[in-house]
Amino acid sequence: MVRVAIAGASGYTGFELVRLLSAHPFAQITMITSRQMKGQKLEDVYPALKRHCDLVFEEPDPAKLAAASDLVFTALPHEAAMDIIPGLLDLGVKVVDLSADYRIRDAAVYGAWYSTHKTPELLKEAVYGLPELYREKIRGSRLVANPGCYPTSVILASAPLLSAGLVDPDSIIADSKSGVSGAGRGASLGVHFCEVNEGFKAYKVAEHRHTPEIEQELSVLAGRPVTINFTPHLVPMTRGILSTVYSNLKEGVTAQTVDRAFEKFYADAKFVRLSRRGELPVSLQVRGSNYCDLGWRVDERTRRVIVISVIDNLTRGASGQAVCNMNLMCGFAEDAGLSSAPWQP
Amino acid sequence: MVRVAIAGASGYTGFELVRLLSAHPFAQITMITSRQMKGQKLEDVYPALKRHCDLVFEEPDPAKLAAASDLVFTALPHEAAMDIIPGLLDLGVKVVDLSADYRIRDAAVYGAWYSTHKTPELLKEAVYGLPELYREKIRGSRLVANPGCYPTSVILASAPLLSAGLVDPDSIIADSKSGVSGAGRGASLGVHFCEVNEGFKAYKVAEHRHTPEIEQELSVLAGRPVTINFTPHLVPMTRGILSTVYSNLKEGVTAQTVDRAFEKFYADAKFVRLSRRGELPVSLQVRGSNYCDLGWRVDERTRRVIVISVIDNLTRGASGQAVCNMNLMCGFAEDAGLSSAPWQP
Amino acid sequence: MVRVAIAGASGYTGFELVRLLSAHPFAQITMITSRQMKGQKLEDVYPALKRHCDLVFEEPDPAKLAAASDLVFTALPHEAAMDIIPGLLDLGVKVVDLSADYRIRDAAVYGAWYSTHKTPELLKEAVYGLPELYREKIRGSRLVANPGCYPTSVILASAPLLSAGLVDPDSIIADSKSGVSGAGRGASLGVHFCEVNEGFKAYKVAEHRHTPEIEQELSVLAGRPVTINFTPHLVPMTRGILSTVYSNLKEGVTAQTVDRAFEKFYADAKFVRLSRRGELPVSLQVRGSNYCDLGWRVDERTRRVIVISVIDNLTRGASGQAVCNMNLMCGFAEDAGLSSAPWQP
Amino acid sequence: MVRVAIAGASGYTGFELVRLLSAHPFAQITMITSRQMKGQKLEDVYPALKRHCDLVFEEPDPAKLAAASDLVFTALPHEAAMDIIPGLLDLGVKVVDLSADYRIRDAAVYGAWYSTHKTPELLKEAVYGLPELYREKIRGSRLVANPGCYPTSVILASAPLLSAGLVDPDSIIADSKSGVSGAGRGASLGVHFCEVNEGFKAYKVAEHRHTPEIEQELSVLAGRPVTINFTPHLVPMTRGILSTVYSNLKEGVTAQTVDRAFEKFYADAKFVRLSRRGELPVSLQVRGSNYCDLGWRVDERTRRVIVISVIDNLTRGASGQAVCNMNLMCGFAEDAGLSSAPWQP
C-alpha cells in the first residue's frame, strides 16, 4: 500500500482523485489539503463522498504532506504547484503534478505562455506523464508532469501519424471541444448555467496555453519543430473532450497505411481503444474512464486524414491519468484502480 | 464465483448490470440475451463496454440460460418476464426480476393495473427486493422481485414515519421527478432530445403503475390500507430521481421525534445515508451508486413533514439494487461490487 | 407612444424587458440603468441585442429617470426598489416594480419574511399586478407590484378552485419546479453549470419568501386565511416553471364541477389557456410567451384535484407580465407587444 | 397581404414557419399540409400554437395548395419536394423550397450525392436563396432553393475571404457543430435524449451531403473549383450552429486586410452582424433570430485565419431565411416579420 496525499483537493480534479483512490486496491489517501476549505470535512463539502473518505481539509504544508505520504498529487493552480513541489521532492516524496508547471521542458517557452519559471532546473528531470509515449521514463521518475486534458486528446490522435511520417506536420489543425468541468469549480459568469446551457462557443482562439504543450510533444514525434492551430470550444455538457484533428496526407499514403500505423502504435496500449473500421468514437463511450478512444477517416477528395479522439477530461484528461502515473511510479499494474467500465448513459 | 446471465441485456438496465457485474469480485457474466440484438457483439452495440465484456447477444432460451448460469437477471418487459421465470425456477436457477411481474402480492391488484397474471401462485413466494425492509427474506429466496425506481425512492422516504406511526397515512403525497433514462432505450417522440430538453412535464398523473406497488408496501408499514397521490415528472437529465414526500404529522410529534425515527430505522443500512440536520440531499450526490440519501424538514406552520429522497434510477432504482439482491441471495457481502463512490460532477 | 426606462437592466429580467419592449408597438425605451455596468453599451454586454437597442447603461438617478420617461420598470433587488420608487412616484412617473417590495400588503408580514419596510404607507396603494385578479385596479394605478414567478404559477392554478369554494384551503400543497434563470445572472457555486446540470434539487423547503405572497392572494380568494406548503425545486434547464398543486376536494365536487370552474374563471383571459380534457400542459409550450397554461386531473381514489400550471419564469413570471401591466396602466391592448407565439423546440 | 401555404408543416421547420408567419405583417397562412398528421388540428399537435393558428393539417394536394395560396413553402424531404414543385409552378404559385432538391445547379452532382434528379431543367431557373449573395436574383424568382443550415453558416464565413482573394481556396476546413433540432422531429435512437445528452460526436465525416452545396458556392466566390473538408458534429443542445472555418492566408494579407474585407462585404447586410475586434460570437446570441454573426482571428504563427460563424439552424438555417426569401420575392422589406431580438438566456 502506498500512502498518498492530495494537495488542492477541493476542486473537480480533487474530487475525481478521491473517487478513484478511495477504491484503489494499493493506495490509501492519508491527507487532503485546501486553503479555502481548511477545517471542513470532505463529506460536508461533497456529501457524495460520505462513507468513502472521512478526511478533513488541512493547510497545504510540505512537511506535513511529506510526513503523511509517500506520493503527493498536486492539483493546484500553476505557479502554486512549483512553490511547493521542490520542497516535497527534497523530503523524499514522489509527486504527480496536475498543473502545467512541469510540462514544458523549455523554460523560455513556459515563460512566454505562462510566467517566469521558478525552478527551471527541475524541468529537465520532470517526465511528461503520457504513458503511451513515456511509460518507461515514468516508471523511474520522482516527478511526473501530468498532461493537460486537451493535449492528451490531441497528442494521442496525432502520434501514430507523425511517428510514422504519414502526414505533413505543418498542416495539423486540432479543433477541440470540451465539457464545462474543464473550467474548474470556481464560480464565474462564464460557467453560469444560463450562459453555457443551450449555447456553444469557441474561446482563446489561437492563444490557448495548451498550444505549446501540444507542439512540444508533436515536435518530438515528428523529429522537427511543429506549429499547429489549436481551437478549444465549450460544449454544454459536464464531462468529455472530443478533438477533431486534421492533417494532410503525404503522397502515397493510403487508408490502409493509416490503419496500420494506429494499430501498431497502440498494439499494447491498455487505455487506448481503436474504433472498428467505419465507426467513430463518441465522447459518452469513455465517460468516467481512463480510455482514449480513437477513430479516423481518410478523405481522398482532399487527401486529408481526420482523426476523432475522445476522452473524459477529468479522468484521462486529469485524475485518472494521474493515478495511472502513480501506478507506474509505484510498480503497480498500469490499470490498478482504473478498471471499471465507462458510465453510460 | 456465481455464474450470472442477463435476459434482456440490450437496454439501459442491461448496460448497467453489465457495468456493475463486469467489475464484481464474485460474479461472472456467462450469457446475455436480446431478441432484437441477437448475434451482435455487446461491444459493437455499446463500444463503451469493449474490454469489459466480450459476449454476444443470444436468443433468450430458458434451458440455455439455466445451463449457463446459477442466477438470472430478467430485465424484460412485464408479461415477458412471467413467461420465462417459472421455467427458470423449475430448472433450479435463482432469479432477480427487474420487471413488475412479481412485485404485487395480490393478483387482483396486478390485474387491475397491468394484466391478468399468468402465475399467481408464484406471487406468494416472490420476495419484494427492498433490502431495508426484507433483508432476511431475500437471503433465503430463489425469486426476488426487484422494486420499481419510483417505489424505491418513495417507500424509503416514508418507512420510518409510518413504521413509527408519526404521520397520518391518508395524507401522503409523493411528488417524484425522474431523469429520462427511466423511460428506457426505445426511440419515441417522448424521449426525442428536442422534446425533452429545456422542458419539464408531469405525466400519468393519478394513474402511474407504480402507485399500487408503493401503496402495498406503505400499507404493510402502516399496518392498514394506505392510498396515496403519486405524481411522476420528467426532468431533462439522464439519471436520477428525487421524490418530495409530504405527510401530516400526528399531534405531539416534534422535529426531534422525526429525526430519531429516521436514525433508528436506518441505523444499520449500508445504502441509506441521512443528510446532516439542516441539509437536504440533491440527486447528483448519489449518481452511479446504490445509495438512497434522505433529508427532511418539519414545517410547524402546516404541521407537515417534507421528506426529500434521492436515488440513481438505474442503479438503486434498478440494476444496483438487483446486484445487491444477488449478493444477499448468494451469501456475499451486501455491498460486494457496489462500493465505488458516486459520480460527480 | 410611452417613454419607458428600466432601472436595473443588466440582469435576465432586464434583458427580457429590452427584448419585449424593443419590439413593442407603443413603447420606446429611453433609458437603462445599472450601477455595475455603468458606461457600457448594452450591445457590448449583450451582443444579442445589437441593432435592437443602442443605449448605454447609466447611473440609476431618480430625477434623470423621471425626466426621461413616463413609466419606469424597477428590476432591482428588494430594498433597493423601495429606496427609489417613492421618489419616482413623487416626480409623476408610473412604476411597475419587479421586486418583492410592494407585493405584501401587510408590513408586518413583509418584515417577518424580508426586512423592515421603509414606506409602509405605499403598500395600501400598490396594486398586485396579476391581471386575472386585478385587471381594473391595475388600469388606474400608478404603482403596480409585479408578482413573483412562483406565485404567478401557483395562484393562477388555485384561483378557480378557491374562488368557487371547491377545495379545502388547508389542504393545499404547491410543489414547484423552476429553471435556473430564476436565480438571476449573478455568479455563484449554486448556478455553476456542473453543479446544476444533470442534477435536481429542492431548496428553501418550508421557508421560501414567495410563501407569504402566495398565501396572501389565496386568502383573498378563499375569503379566509390560508396557510400552504410551497416547495421550490431547481430543474437543469434555463427557463420555465411547472407547479403541481394538490388540494382536497370538498364533498360532492365532481370532475365536471372542476372543469366548469376553470372555464368560467378564465373565460376572458387573454393569457391563460386551458388544456384539452385529458391533456396536461408542459413547460416548453409557453416558453418565451406570456401564457400561463393550465390542466388538471381529479383523483377519485384520494378525492384530490391535481392542477398543473406552466409559465415562462422570465416572461409571464417577470418581464412579460410587467409589460402586460404597463399596457393596462397606459390604456393599450392587454397583449400589445406580447402576441408572438411561444418558442419551440 | 400574401396568402402562403406550408407543405410539410408538421416538423420543426414547419413549426418555425408557423411561428414566424403567424406574426408576419404582410402574410397570412391559409393552408398547412402533412400526410402523417392529416385531419389533426395544428394546436392539438403543438399546444404552443393555440391562439396563433387554427388550421387543420390537410393532404398535400398541388391544386388545392395553388388555389389557397400565392406562395408555398415546401418543407418536405428531398425527392418529395421535386415531385410537387413543378406542378405548383405550373399553376402560377411561387415556391420557397426548404429541401435540397433545387440547391445544386449541376444535376450530375445532385445525382452523385442524392439521387437522379427528376426535373433537371428547373435547376437552371432556381435561385440559391442566400440573400447576401443573390438578393437581386431572388427578387425576380418564382423558385428559390432555401440553403441548408450548415452551408449558410460556412458560406457566409468564407465569402469575404474568397471574394477578395485573401486565402488559398484549397486550404479551407469547416468544422461545424449543430444542435439536435437539425436532425428533425422523427424519433430514432440517434436523437434519444439519453444518447445525445452529455455527449458530443462527429458524424458523416467526409461524406455529409451539405458538402457539394458549400463547394458550389465557394467555387463561385473563388472563381475556380473549390474542394473542402466539412465535418459536422452534434452538440447536446436544441438550436444553433457554430462553424469554425480555417483557411491559409495568402502572402501579404494582414489582419487589417481581413477586417476590411468583412466590413466591406457585409456593409449593407441586414442579417449579418460582425463582432467587435477581439470578440467572437457565441451561438446563444442569435437564437431565434435570422442573424448570422461573424468573428475572426488571424494567427500569425500559422498564417491562418479562423472564422467563427453562428446561426440559429431553424431560423437563419431554415425557416427564417425562407421568410426572408419570401419577403424579397414579394417586394416586402427584407426583415418584415423577422425583426424581433434573439432569445436569451
- Cβ neighbours of residue D335 closer than 8 Å, sequence gap 6 or more: D270, D271, D290, D324, D327
Query: Mean pLDDT, to the nearest integer, of B310-316?
Result: 98
- Alpha-carbon dihedral of residues A78, A81, A82, A88, nearest 10 degrees? -170
Separation between Cα atoms, residue A185 and residue A9, nearest integer Å? 11
Q: What is the residue type of B142?
A: R
Q: Is residue B97 helix, strand or coil? A: strand
Separation between Cα atoms, residue A146 and residue A96, nearest integer Å? 6
Q: Is residue D85 helix, strand or coil? A: helix
- Cβ neighbours of residue D170 closer than 8 Å, sequence gap 6 or more: D226, D227
Tell me what pLDDT residue B157 has: 98
- Alpha-carbon dihedral of residues B3, B6, B10, B12, nearest 10 degrees? -100
Question: Residue A48 and residue B198: Cβ atoms within 8 Å?
Answer: no
Query: In a mutagenesis test of the C interface, which of B299, B305, B312 is the best target, namely the one with the most C β-carbons within 10 Å?
Result: B299
Tell me what pLDDT residue D195 has: 98
Distance of CA B10 to the CA centre of its chain: 18
Residue numbers of A annotated as active site? 149
For chain D, domain boundaries: 2-147+317-330, 149-315
Asked if residues C216 and C107 have their Cβ atoms less than 8 Å apart, the reply is no
Angle at A206 between CA D211 and CA A227, to 5 degrees: 90
Separation between Cα atoms, residue D325 and residue B262, nearest integer Å? 66
| Residues in chain D within 8 Å Cβ distance of B12 | 194
The pLDDT-based confidence of C207 (bands split at 50, 70, 90) is: very high
- Cβ neighbours of residue B141 closer than 8 Å, sequence gap 6 or more: B94, B125, B126, B127, B329
Sheet arrangement for strand A292-299 = A201-202, A229-234, A173-178, A241-248, A304-311, A292-299, A272-274
Could you list the beta-strand ranges (E) of A168-291: 173-178, 201-202, 229-234, 241-248, 272-274
CATH 3.40.50.720 fits C2-147+316-330, yes or no: yes
Q: What is the residue type of C304?
A: R
Q: Tell me which chain A residue has its CA closest to the CA of residue D212.
A: A301
Of D326, D205, D330, D315, the C-alpha closest to D271 is D315
DSSP class of residue C249?
B
Distance from the Cα of C151 to chain D's closest Cα (Å) equals 22
Separation between Cα atoms, residue D84 and residue D93, nearest integer Å? 12
H or E element, residue B107 = helix B107-113
Contacting C with CB below 8 Å, chain B residues are 173, 175, 177, 179, 194-195, 197-203, 205-206, 227-229, 231, 233, 235-240, 242, 244, 246, 280, 282-284, 287, 297-299, 301-302, 304, 306, 308, 345
Tell me what pLDDT residue C185 has: 97
Q: Is residue C318 helix, strand or coil? A: helix
Contacting B with CB below 8 Å, chain C residues are 173, 175, 177, 179, 194-195, 197-203, 205-206, 227-229, 231, 233, 235-240, 242, 244, 246, 280, 282-284, 287, 297-299, 301-302, 304, 306, 308, 345
Give alpha helix (H) positions in chain D.
12-21, 42-45, 62-68, 80-90, 107-113, 120-125, 131-139, 149-163, 193-196, 210-222, 255-265, 320-330
CATH of domain A149-313: 3.30.360.10
CATH of domain D2-147+317-330: 3.40.50.720
Question: Residue A202 and residue D244: Cβ atoms within 8 Å?
Answer: yes
C75-120: pLDDT as tens digits: 999 999 999 999 999 999 999 999 999 999 999 999 999 999 999 9
pLDDT tens track of chain D, all 345 residues?
Answer: 999 999 999 999 999 999 999 999 999 999 999 999 999 999 999 999 999 999 999 999 999 999 999 999 999 999 999 999 999 999 999 999 999 999 999 999 999 999 999 999 999 999 999 999 999 999 999 999 999 999 999 999 999 999 999 999 999 999 999 999 999 999 999 999 999 999 999 999 999 999 999 999 999 999 999 999 999 999 999 999 999 999 999 999 999 999 999 999 999 999 999 999 999 999 999 999 999 999 999 999 999 999 999 999 999 999 999 999 999 999 999 999 999 999 999
Separation between Cα atoms, residue C42 and residue D321, nearest integer Å? 27
Q: What is the residue type of A92?
A: G
Contacting D with CB below 8 Å, chain C residues are 12, 15, 18-19, 22-23, 44, 46-53, 181, 185, 198, 238-239, 273, 275-276, 279, 281-282, 284-289, 293, 339-345
Question: Residue C286 and residue D48: Cβ atoms within 8 Å?
Answer: yes
Question: Residue A193 and residue C191: Cβ atoms within 8 Å?
Answer: yes
Tell me what pLDDT residue D289 has: 98
Tell me what pLDDT residue D199 has: 98
Antiparallel, parallel or unpaired: β A304-311 and A292-299: antiparallel
B218-275: pLDDT as tens digits: 999 999 999 999 999 999 999 999 999 999 999 999 999 999 999 999 999 999 999 9
Q: For chain B, what is the largest distance between any 2 Cα atoms, rounded to a whole number of angstroms?
A: 63
- Alpha-carbon dihedral of residues A313, A316, A319, A322, nearest 10 degrees? -140
C-alpha cell at C149: 414567478
Asked if residues B96 and B326 have their Cβ atoms less than 8 Å apart, the reply is yes
pLDDT tens track of chain A, all 345 residues?
Answer: 999 999 999 999 999 999 999 999 999 999 999 999 999 999 999 999 999 999 999 999 999 999 999 999 999 999 999 999 999 999 999 999 999 999 999 999 999 999 999 999 999 999 999 999 999 999 999 999 999 999 999 999 999 999 999 999 999 999 999 999 999 999 999 999 999 999 999 999 999 999 999 999 999 999 999 999 999 999 999 999 999 999 999 999 999 999 999 999 999 999 999 999 999 999 999 999 999 999 999 999 999 999 999 999 999 999 999 999 999 999 999 999 999 999 999
Of D260, D329, D247, D333, the C-alpha closest to D290 is D333
Tell me what pLDDT residue B298 has: 98
| Residues in chain A within 8 Å Cβ distance of B284 | 48
Tell me what pLDDT residue D310 has: 98
Separation between Cα atoms, residue B110 and residue B121, nearest integer Å? 13
Return the bridge partners of D28, or none: D3
Distance from the Cα of C33 to chain A's closest Cα (Å) equals 20
Which of D181, D194, D198 is opposite residue B194, by nearest beta carbon?
Answer: D181
**First CA to last CA distance, chain B:** 34
The per-residue pLDDT of chain B, averaged, comes to 98
Residue numbers of D annotated as active site? 149
Q: Is residue C325 helix, strand or coil? A: helix
Separation between Cα atoms, residue A61 and residue D131, nearest integer Å? 65
The pLDDT-based confidence of B47 (bands split at 50, 70, 90) is: very high
Give whole-number Cα distances, D168 to A303, D44, D174, in Å. 16, 52, 14
Tell me what pLDDT residue C197 has: 98
H or E element, residue D7 = strand D2-7
The pLDDT-based confidence of C204 (bands split at 50, 70, 90) is: very high
C-alpha cell at A326: 502513480
Q: Tell me which chain B residue has its CA closest to the CA of residue D190.
A: B187
pTM above 0.80, yes or no: yes
Q: How would you classify residue C198: left for phi > 0, otherwise alpha for psi between -120 and 50, otherwise beta?
A: left
Q: Is the ipTM of this complex over 0.90?
A: yes
- Cβ neighbours of residue D260 closer than 8 Å, sequence gap 6 or more: none
Tell me what pLDDT residue D93 has: 98
Of D202, D197, D155, the C-alpha closest to D309 is D155
C-alpha cell at A294: 480513437
Tell me what pLDDT residue A248 has: 98
Q: Is residue C146 helix, strand or coil? A: coil
Write the secondary structure of B138-160 as one string of H (helix), E (strand) and C (coil): HHCCCEEECCCHHHHHHHHHHHH
CATH of domain D149-315: 3.30.360.10
Of A10, A87, A85, A12, the C-alpha closest to A55 is A10
**Residues in chain A, overall count:** 345
